[in-house]
Structure 1
Amino acid sequence: MKIGILGSGSVGQTLGRALVEKGHSVRIGTRDPLKLESWRAEVGAAASVGSPAECVQWAELIVLAVHGTAVEAVLESAGVPHFSGKIVVDVSDPLDFSGGRPGLFVGTTDSLGERVQRWLPDAKVVKALNTVLAAVMVNPGLTGGDPDMFIAGNDADAKLVVGGLLESFGWPVIDMGDIESARWLEALSLLWVVHSHRTGKIHHAFKLVGK
């Protein structure tokens, strides 16, 4: 597929590299293309860089990998009509550290994932990969067993496509239902952050077990 990534930080670069290795073409949308010169040279000809609008217009599937507070502005800069009919993988989280302790700026009765779906009414939003650090997003084998990746979204076919990408990264996928369940995936991300702050550890993830 042609996969666009909005976000040029560690998440965007990590996922972009992994997607090219899996045979996809990747374009990162950014306002600072010079920042990605070394990344593009390293990843090769299947990787490119453009503006957010160019990225979304070109792509068949878009990964949203920016800070939660920047999501709405980034979507507007990319042009909301350009997302029409496309799958959007929402990796963002509504994390809020303004009070001095980890928190969420939206939760329980709404979520950032739901807001993204409202801002992009003609797109197919799938919440995924928001509960782990970039370094664990690809080939996530950890001490204690393989973790699970939880996803949520309204479109069943879109979730199958995203699930296939995640499985190619080494993730067992658990579908948590429609986009409303993004509330609980974003809360799970906060739990990840709290554990990290308490222990200093960053390479951890979650697994659903039972019998």
Structure 2
Amino acid sequence: MEGIIVRRVIPSDNSCLFNAVGYVMDHDKNKASELRQVIAATVSSDPVKYSEAFLEKPNDVYCSWILDSEKWGGAIELSILANYYEREIAAYDIQTTRCDLYGQDRNFSERVMLIYDGLHYDALAITPFEVAPEEFDQTIFSVRSDRTLGPIEGIAQDFVNKQHSQRKFTDTANFTLRCGVCQIGVKGQKEAAEHARQTNHTNFQEFK
């Protein structure tokens, strides 16, 4: 394999997961609206699998919720998108350096890679050199018979470990946020979620 691994930054607009997936799958950072529709259609079509117990909200409520561009995606959405594209999605968490693999039970022959900093998803790509244009990026990789990517997997893990050592993550248990609507300060993801539940305010900015 020639080249180096790079983190392709996706805009921070509450749709970073979807646009990061769009980039690694289709080299398109503006797929959020389309991919939210895919997820809603998938969930709506199988209310038994996607039950209230699984989704933590009624099926129809979830479908309306995920279509809202202000709402974030996570594990459920990555699992659905892996099946939709028929490719594994590896999501690397910088804070824990863990890799969560979606679609691994389906024996897909290809994999893409994302990186997560506690709040935000970006795309991982292999590029020929540091400042190469994005059109040279390789984002889809063949899964080998041992279900790994071979050397690429080690390079990706080393990159994530380095990002961790540089503290390129947000500690969501202890970070401080300010509500962009009413300017109230909250600490940690739980307080932010509770404030959002009480006020319907979802626009938070991190501050030190």
TM (normalized to structure 2)? Answer: 0.36
Larger Cα-atom Rg: 2
> Which gives a bigger RCO, structure 1 or 2 (Cα 8 Å, sep 6+)?
2
TM (normalized to structure 1)? Answer: 0.35
